[in-house]
Structure 1
């Protein structure tokens, strides 16, 4: 098929279909229907989810939530939108009726705590961390809040930090009506080539303006919202002066290139990307 005809066919397909992260194309109407079904499913669970907060988390965590409510940070907690090994993320509403995300770290997950130290040690912001299980989790929560502050100040597309208390982090909600924006691993961008360059630009902002390396950047920690990349889960992110920053930046770039290569993007050499992200070269060829 001639290139021009192939391009026209692709454009026609993009008008009526959307590409999933595994390369499959589905009708946009079907994709919208799936999103609505997911929203309905989540709404039916929320009352039940809220009731079990006290069962899942300890008294100090419940007290921390109460304090954030009394401070006017949280008005309502509607229910769980993500439950992982390290934390639960809840959809909530603030006193101005804005949607917020409330991330609550578990204080009892031993394996998770063991992995924290290497990302906290050597960070000049956390020289006097209590090495108790709870002390590490509290420091981890504060670290994510501070990293989000740096990202926001640098203009990086990421959730906006609102407040934190103990093991509870409150930030802006990325999504609409309680339905979070899809992850890059769930659905591919409509224009992978453009999205790839946008994501590299975000990584550069994070490095040159925020002074931070994400450290775990992949399709699992990037959302698509209005065809823009949103970088989240920055608790492990390191200041660029940290001894681990260099190897983790290389890994981040490798992860990005591997993902977009699967989508057929003609990715740029990782070493060249690294120089550009660091501000050591002006252009990406």
Structure 2
């Protein structure tokens, strides 16, 4: 788990962020940024670079390794600090609270603003980042894809999907995005996997989920990772979240991914509520969603 750095933000100085930004720039070209390059990348003199490296390393924001040279790189905590700094400068958020959810590919925290919001850090690439590097990869710039590039692209894809779908589809309202982080409205309700639906709620909730899948397809997206863990059930309906892997409906695999989404969500209801979930022709249901046949979609549930 990546440590929450929000409590340390007040201790950081503008020059610390210059250093972190310089490392971010350098990591576009190599896994480890040579110490001698940091004055150029950060705009700080060598003495200040040394001082800032010590401050940031003690706080776990950067890592050092001696290979053929002394190199540095951002940690995920350092990248978090850069995103938080930007959100604070934009007045998007004014404080970070406790965790709302921690997973393999994202961490979500409650944040303070003019209303309750959620801050999601994408962690795609974190596992590979922690693995032991092969030294021949340190300078293989042409093949180098940094972990923060992977995480940032995931955040950008998700934010694009949310901006396109909201408010016509019940997804979290997008507020802001920077680097690998997204700020969105905090969801009310409980995860579908833990909802414990009553007999009379099973079909209506399945109906609502299918409606949102159809609405997303109508707006141009397939979720591509639908499950009981990506749906919140609340007093006002359902909310479908986690969209970084979403694909546009003209994607070569969109039809296959939509069929898989339908199978996953219907299969969950059939496993957990077998007595109250009707038999469903999943292929025909996927066809109805693609053809925007709303009445047929409703009829399946």
- What TM-score results when the alignment is normalised by the length of structure 2? 0.65
* Cα offset, 1:161, TM superposition: 0.7
Q: How far is the alpha carbon of 1:60 from its aligned partner?
A: 3.3
Alignment of 1:23-172 (within 5 A): 50-51=6-7, 55=60, 57-94=76-113, 96=114, 98-106=115-123, 109-111=126-128, 131-153=145-167, 155-172=168-185
CA contact (8 A) 1:141 1:235 kept: yes
Asked if structure 1 preserves the Cα contact closer than 8 Å seen for 2:121 and 2:180, the reply is yes
CA distance in 2 between counterparts of 1:164 and 1:49 reads 18
Root mean square deviation, CA, Å: 2.5
* Shift in CA distance, 280/88, structure 1 to aligned 2, threshold 3 Å: closer
Q: Distance in 2 between matches of 1:189 and 1:161?
A: 28
Aligned match of 2:216 in 185, 188, 206? 206
Deviation of 1:267 (Å) = 3.8
Instruction: Kindly state the Cα deviation for residue 165 of structure 1 after the two structures are TM-superposed.
Output: 0.6
Task: Could you tell me which runs of 5 or more consecutive residues in structure 1 were left unpaired when the two chains were aligned.
Answer: 1-47, 114-129, 176-180
Residues 204 and 279 in structure 1, CA contact (< 8 A), matched pair in contact too: no
1:194: Cα distance to partner?
1.0
Q: Tell me if structure 1 keeps the 8 A contact 2:118–2:183.
A: yes
SS of equivalent to 1:58: helix
How many residues align? The count is: 213
2:204 matched to which residue of 1? 194
**1:126 — aligned with what?**
none
Query: In the TM superposition, what is the alpha-carbon distance from 1:229 to its structure 2 partner?
Result: 1.4
- Seen in structure 2, the aligned counterparts of structure 1 residues 59 and 112 have a Cα distance that, compared at 3 Å, is closer
Match of 2:43 in 1: none
Aligned to 1:253: 262
Unaligned runs of 5+ in 2: 10-58, 61-74, 131-143
Q: Choose between structure 1 and 2 for higher RCO, CA contacts under 8 A separated by at least 6 residues.
A: 1
Task: Note the C-alpha offset of 1:50.
Answer: 4.7
Alignment CA distance shift 1:110-1:212 (3 Å): same
